[in-house]
Amino acid sequence: MQFYENKTAKLQSIQSQSTLEAFGHGEGYLYPHAYRDHWVAQQYLPDVLQGRIFYQPSEQGYEASIQETVSRNREAQLATFFSQTASEQSGSLNYWEARTLGSSGELLNEFRDRLTEWCELSRNSLALVLNAGEGLLLGEFLRRISEENVYALVESSEEKIILETLFKKTNSRIEAKIAVDSSGCPESFEIGDLRFERIVGRNVLQKHADKTGFLETLKPWISADGFFVFGETVPSLGQRLSDLIPEELLEPDFRKKLKAAEKEIYLDEENVRSSWTPSTLRDELNGANWNIIRWQVKEYSIPTMIRTEQIEQWFPSHQDSPHSSYGQRLSAYFSPKQLNNLRETFRNEVAGIVVEWHSVSLFMQLKPK
């Protein structure tokens, strides 16, 4: 356990930095032996964020043989960090809700593999990665595409700098063309006749209230034979915090009311990230004249430790947070005494245990008709 203790101590020594204030509050501890190759992307600070890469294998001998594995693991770790901090720093997203957005390392590996497979890349595919700041897909595309530059849109200059640092050296002569544009518009590349064969991204659509309207803005940038590939985590079908409490610890009527409240919160039309389901999105796409080539809804279950600090964020004692907490949202349905009892139940019965955290993801391959 010394590795994790050292990493945690290292993190505590830098938590005063403004860009890292939200770090350390994501998914819980994940057990390495339960995962492929005994490696798990933990929520520890990727060293690239401190100006260096924590381990860079050489291109000779054994280290050359593990170079790709190390790179993929590092990218998943970076993506874990960015998935979390971007969620927590967003004024439109609550921390407790961010946990349903699929930010564990193992799940991110699954996302990357599936999206890459569905893209059907060749050595000279002309590809655009949207929402690329987390680095998960960009690195894989740079390894797969050897005869074309890979284009990527990020939301901030900080993300661009980090990605340029991480991918400044590749095994081919191509490079990542990275532009900053929070709207997701390829016009930022300032290449008028640019037409992509693949446009891909993770959790791209969920931040848009008008998802098909956003897709319409991308149509001019896809080639005649090209298509889109998106992977979206579906918060409305994911883990409910109420389900973490053993059945016998809540009165049946209270549990029923709690689950009904959670459903209303997630399907609140004002929350564009969660107020949709795969079926409602599919209806929108069909109505907007999109050709759905492939469509898959997949469930995941990830061992996750719930920490006391997380529960305190769900039920903060001070109500001055810029993000609505779980407890604040439930206050419209329950009395302060009921919420305090619920908080204590979470603290006494859920904190410190490993649970199977449930999430649902949607994968789609689309083409304009």
* pLDDT single digits (tens) 104-161: 666 888 889 999 999 999 999 999 999 998 888 999 999 899 899 999 999 989 889 8
How many angstroms separate the CA atoms of 331 and 338, rounded?
A: 9
Q: Is the pLDDT of residue 84 over 60?
A: no
pLDDT band at 323 (very low <50, low <70, confident <90, very high): low
Check pLDDT > 80 for residue 51. Answer: no
pTM: 0.76
pLDDT reported for residue 102: 45
- For the chain, where do the domains classified as CATH 3.40.50.150 start and end? 40-234+276-306+359-368
Superfamily of domain 40-234+276-306+359-368: Vaccinia Virus protein VP39 (3.40.50.150)
pLDDT given at position 169: 60
CA 280 – CA 282 distance, rounded (Å)? 5
